[in-house]
Amino acid sequence: MTTTDSSTKATMATTSQISVRAAQSDYREIPAEPDPVLQCEDVDVYYGSFQAVRNVSLAFGHNEITALIGPSGCGKSTILRSLNRMNDLVEGARVTGSVRYWGQDMYGAGVDPIEVRRRIGMVFQKPNPFPKSIYDNIAYGPRVTGMKVDSMDDHVEQALTRAALWDEVKDKLKQSAYGLSGGQQQRLCIARTIAVEPDVILMDEPCASLDPIATMRIETLMTELRDLYTIVIVTHNMQQAARVADRTAFFTAAVDETTGDRTGELVEFDRTAKIFENPADQRTEDYITGRFG
């Protein structure tokens, strides 16, 4: 059995470590400008005739965690879903503007959305393991994408290890994933994503349905994975953004006076410390200090 740093660290995670790590996060050198893996320019997203977000320009830095925060209906999940073309699966959804992955237009001609989703993985709000065994959940991605894997057993083990789940499940790999707790299921979903070897992981409120202990473990895991992956996380929880994110983007919704439609827009995007300590925009400050949302 390979015991990597990550798994031991994860199993030892305690509250005190969280605070230490939060402090570490502050000391981490974050360049003024992100080295962009993903870059949005003037992105608008429509569902039918309804405009969900307007004019978003953002860059997601290599091996950084970027948090998207803001009140409900501000379009943060919509933007997240346009970063790996999950919106393609929604009837009538349309994305304009440019989304670039290592400089290549993600919506350009000849780009296979399935290849996009393989490279840019996604973890959802509610854990959604397949009704299969733990092993088959992990092996699913490599199998459907036709990855060449020397030994699937090793591959599964490593993915689970990286997601800090191996020690808990190594004796019951053939059992149904539904037997796991909510937090374990969510880490299984992260492991499942890691198994197809993406370099970006998108997380859509991954802790929204978890209890505080499970949430803490996922947060620990995210900061460990940061060295390997570029992570974008949508969260309702401002403390969570403050704890884990290197950079934070604050969104809000503008209400159209005539139609009542709420269209999301980006208010401010900066290093997390700056956003929380010294926001440039009054709306950000109002949100951070709890005056609305």
Q: Which residues bind another protein (CB under 8 A)?
A: 62-63, 84, 86, 89, 91, 101-102, 104, 106, 108-119, 121-122, 124, 126, 128-132, 140-141, 144-145, 149-151, 154-155, 158-159, 162, 178, 189, 192-199, 228-229
Distance in Å, CB of 170 to another protein, minimum: 16
Q: Name beta bridge partners: 67.
A: 233, 248
In residues, how long is the chain? 293
Distance in Å, CB of 233 to another protein, minimum: 15
Beta-strand pair 247-255/262-271: antiparallel
Distance in Å, CB of 201 to another protein, minimum: 10
What tokens were used for 126? 């509610």
Distance in Å, CB of 141 to another protein, minimum: 4
**How far apart, in whole angstroms, are the C-alpha atoms of residue 37 and residue 112?**
18
Beta-strand pair 200-204/36-47: unpaired
**How far apart, in whole angstroms, are the C-alpha atoms of residue 81 and residue 108?**
17
**By C-beta, is 56 or 120 nearer to another protein?**
120
What tokens were used for 128? 């959604």
* Residue among 201, 230, 266, 210 at smallest CA distance from 68: 266
Beta-strand pair 230-234/262-271: unpaired
**By C-beta, is 55 or 181 nearer to another protein?**
181
**By C-beta, is 37 or 249 nearer to another protein?**
37
**How far apart, in whole angstroms, are the C-alpha atoms of residue 74 and residue 264?**
4
**How far apart, in whole angstroms, are the C-alpha atoms of residue 26 and residue 42?**
30
Distance in Å, CB of 64 to another protein, minimum: 12
**By C-beta, is 129 or 279 nearer to another protein?**
129
Distance in Å, CB of 94 to another protein, minimum: 16
Distance in Å, CB of 115 to another protein, minimum: 6
Nearest 10 degrees: Cα torsion 25, 26, 30, 36:
50
**By C-beta, is 60 or 276 nearer to another protein?**
60
State the chain's maximal CA–CA distance in angstroms: 63
**By C-beta, is 229 or 250 nearer to another protein?**
229
**By C-beta, is 63 or 237 nearer to another protein?**
63
